[in-house]
Structure 1
Amino acid sequence: MGNAVADQALTGPTNKQARFAIADLSHYIPESRFSVRDGAAHLRRQGMTITEAQIEAFQRDYGFMQAPFETELSVEEMIAAACTPLLDRNSLPIQVLMFVNGGNWGLQHNVFKALLHKYEQLRGADIYSIGKQTCASFHMALRMATHLFDASRDEGAILIVAVDKLSVNSHKLTEFYLCGDSASACLLTPYGAGHKTYEVFNQDGYVYDQSNAEGVALFNTTFFLGIRGAIQSILKQAKLSLDDVKLIVGSNVSLKAWETVAYLLRAPLEKFYVKTREVGHLPSSDIQYNLAQAIAEGALKQGDYYITINVGYGGFMGCALHQY
């Protein structure tokens, strides 16, 4: 670690040093599915009026069809299911464990207790909780990792663990999203093989609640521009063009949103990789899951540059430049 060979392996655009590497990914996706029609039926039982035309438009224009729904495992068990394969493959000592919870719901117990007991490499790790940037919290974890590795690059790895389990069905289907349950694990190392990460960009949002109609309307009519700006900013920092980037791995928001972003960037829609139709919106794990799928499907090859980007409710934004 920290030798000249490792340092040279992590140089990229314009001989820029990588901040860290994504060494491994793992996830847990429940088998049960919750459809748009299931969500509509639940909301109708609560007294809301939802027409067949609205359901069809939601599926056609937004691309949402179904999302995973956990019916048996607890949050702790979901985390264990996601982390176990990764921890079995990697024995690096974990310096920091970051818990990402984009849904901002609280927990009343230590969800890592079983893992800490089983895996020696986790013992002694500092644990941080990240969630105030809503669905952009994963990129805030990446941003924190850059600072932690800058401060100390020889003490171990960082494990980012994310989970969402929405216990209330009405929270799964909103006006704009069909949300799903999931858990994921992402291992970061300061040196070595993996996905080199060169730049991480975060943008603060603004605070409002659902009763603030003007704030909701502003967010839904301007976040396309925010995504475009974030991508342009990170490319400028790296001195790359959009043509140099193989894929933009985005969060599973509506397909219409990505069509708009592609138009604004004058980029082919095929450059945007999302899994909206397959799993819906996984608030804390969209990027981790989509990246793993892109690799499994061969959409990314060794040496390809790619961008990850997600947007959180309230205008929070996260974006990063990587190389496979």
Structure 2
Amino acid sequence: MSNTKLNKEDGSMHLADSKKGTLNVQKRKKAIWAYIFLAPQIIVFFVFSAYPIVMSYIYSFYDWTGIGPLNNFVGLGNYIQLLNSPRFWNSLVVSIYYIVGTTVIGVGVALILAIILNDAKLKGRGIYRVIYFLPVVTTTAIVGIIMSNLFGIRGLVNQLLLQLNIISTPITWLTEGTLALMILIVVGAWKGLGINMVYWLAGLQSIPHDLYESAQLDGAGFWRTLWYITLPLLKPMMMVIILLSLVSGVNAFDLVKTLTDGGPNFATETLDLFIYNFAFTSQFGGGTTRMGYASAAGVLLGIFTFIISTVFGAAAFGKNLMKRRMKVEPKGGVHK
């Protein structure tokens, strides 16, 4: 009997070991296939994202034209020149104006549209949503070219205003500094209006309808419901939308290049266009391209973007994280 029991135990142990071995082989196969599917994306990331970023930091310490070996090491010379350049600071201020302007207009107007289109009684809501989302799927360069023609001296906007006798002479929309910057901000906000509206609609549709029914029973009108129910419940979504809008506002190159090209007199030149002008054109670099100088500006642009996202993220979500920690941790401290 004892030998029979031992044989059964040995058999069960061998069976368990074989099952474990089979499971390990299956796990390895799954892991291998996972790495195979991830490999192309990882390679693309390192080739087109990580490698250029690292090389930009290296180039920023050289006075390099973009062609030939890296021979002329200047250390922090490019950064010192940038910080002493009025044009660099002007492009930074223009970028800030553009980022803040497009965020305020784009996020605010998108919220109003989302509230209107969220009304189930509105007929043709789907058509309106498609119309407002069209600028998002339209190439930004095409938007810039179309708008530059519309706001040109002989563009459709001037022709329409002249026909309506609103103006007596054509307005130079894109050749006056302040006016050109305002047009750029409005067009940029309009371009991102659709995606912000989709975010707002997602937030509005996540609010329980029972809250609105209870508010109606209590006699609350539209504005009281908006102020005490809708906006407080949309606050987390609001912070995310604003943060995304701020970060996306940094990448304004294609719109600025096609709409105003940084003019007049650099009044609409943003940081990314500033980098392009020195990296790939010779008219601003003393007859030659200045890739090292532009790389230093790119590094500062990255730092600027990091500061925006970090400061706003800490201000927006820091309090919520602290509240969650206070709720999780006991009042008397952590008990072991």
TM-score w.r.t. the length of structure 2 is 0.21
Q: Which has a greater percent of strand?
A: 1
Larger radius of gyration: 2
TM-score w.r.t. the length of structure 1 is 0.21
Q: Which has a greater percent of helix?
A: 2
